[in-house]
Structure 1
Amino acid sequence: MSNRIEDIEVYNLAEAFSDKIWFIATKWEFFAKDTVGKQIVRSADSISANIAEGFGRFHYKENKNFCYFSRGSIIETKGWLKKAKTRDLLDDENYQLLLQQLETIHLKLNIYIKFIGKGKSD
């Protein structure tokens, strides 16, 4: 396993995704930014933040636990995306694109979780 978080593909995808969410939400009107915007940015940022925190932990089991938190943030972000679409903050094209990117992150995170700790004895 790499010793640099920047070498982990799912981390980089999650970082890029959260930046997209940020730049979308910052263009919304105040009320939307203050409600849905803050929540979706926090949940999207939490995806890569938890991957990074787990990566920095000493034991692979802690790393997995933080990846499970990240997976929870993926599901939360999906919920906020749906709310943003329903409330006309996202058009269908952007919603589908963001949802597809989130699904890719989810899939790659599951693969990464399975990889963590392989070959280690506890």
Structure 2
Amino acid sequence: MEDKKKYIPLKDLEIYQLSRKLSAIAWTIYSRLNFHEKKSWGNQMLESIDSVGANIAEGYGRFHYLEKVQFYFYSRASLAEGKEHWLDLGHERGLVTLEEWEEICSIHYPLQVKLNNTISKTYEAKKGGKNEK
């Protein structure tokens, strides 16, 4: 009996779900900003955070494993930019509340780990279980 892998819809992927939660928080923050804050900080923060999920989606839809991995790398870089730079800066400047900050942090680390695991597993699946980067 062959072991067929079941297709998992994008919306059911945990990394995609976590990225959407992060996007929802980013949108809440962005929505209350004034024009100057949106223009100087908010637009870039929102684009980088929304790019996390967008790149997961694009990578997931690609056929070749190297293309998949490339988009997962883009997603990981966008996560670093969005959280480690823009949201950290927003928290320092008082644009992100403590409650939002704690929720962001509770999503960021698990998403980062799961994204790294997804990259590794994508390589392993193609390489017959050997993780050759």
Same fold per superposition (TM over 0.5): yes
Q: Which residue of 2 aligns with 1:60?
A: 65
Larger mean CA deviation between 90-99 and 42-51 belongs to 90-99
* Structure 2 unmatched ranges of 5 or more: 129-133
CA distance in 1, matches of 2:45, 2:37: 11
CA 1:81/1:26 → structure 2, altered by over 3 Å: closer, same or farther? same
Q: Which residue of 2 aligns with 1:112?
A: 118
Is residue 91 from structure 1 mapped to residue 97 from structure 2 by the alignment? yes
Contact 2:55 2:71 in 1 (8 A): yes
C-alpha deviation, 1:102, in angstroms: 1.3
The one-letter code of the counterpart of 1:55 is: Y
Deviations 1:78-114 (A, max 9, x none): 2101110121111333223212311121111111111
TM-score normalized by the length of structure 2: 0.83
CA 1:37/1:121 → structure 2, altered by over 3 Å: closer, same or farther? same
CA distance in 1, matches of 2:125, 2:47: 34
Cα RMSD, aligned residues only:
1.7
C-alpha deviation, 1:117, in angstroms: 4.1
Paired positions, count:
122
CA 1:67/1:90 → structure 2, altered by over 3 Å: closer, same or farther? same
C-alpha deviation, 1:7, in angstroms: 2.3
CA distance in 2, matches of 1:62, 1:85: 34
Q: Which residue of 1 aligns with 2:45?
A: 40
CA distance in 2, matches of 1:96, 1:118: 34
CA distance in 1, matches of 2:109, 2:43: 21
The one-letter code of the counterpart of 2:103 is: L
Q: Which of 97, 103, 106 is the matching residue for 2:109?
A: 103
* Structure 1 unmatched ranges of 5 or more: none
Other structure's SS at 1:118 match: helix
Other structure's SS at 1:116 match: helix
Structure with the greater alpha carbon radius of gyration: 2
CA distance in 1, matches of 2:77, 2:61: 19
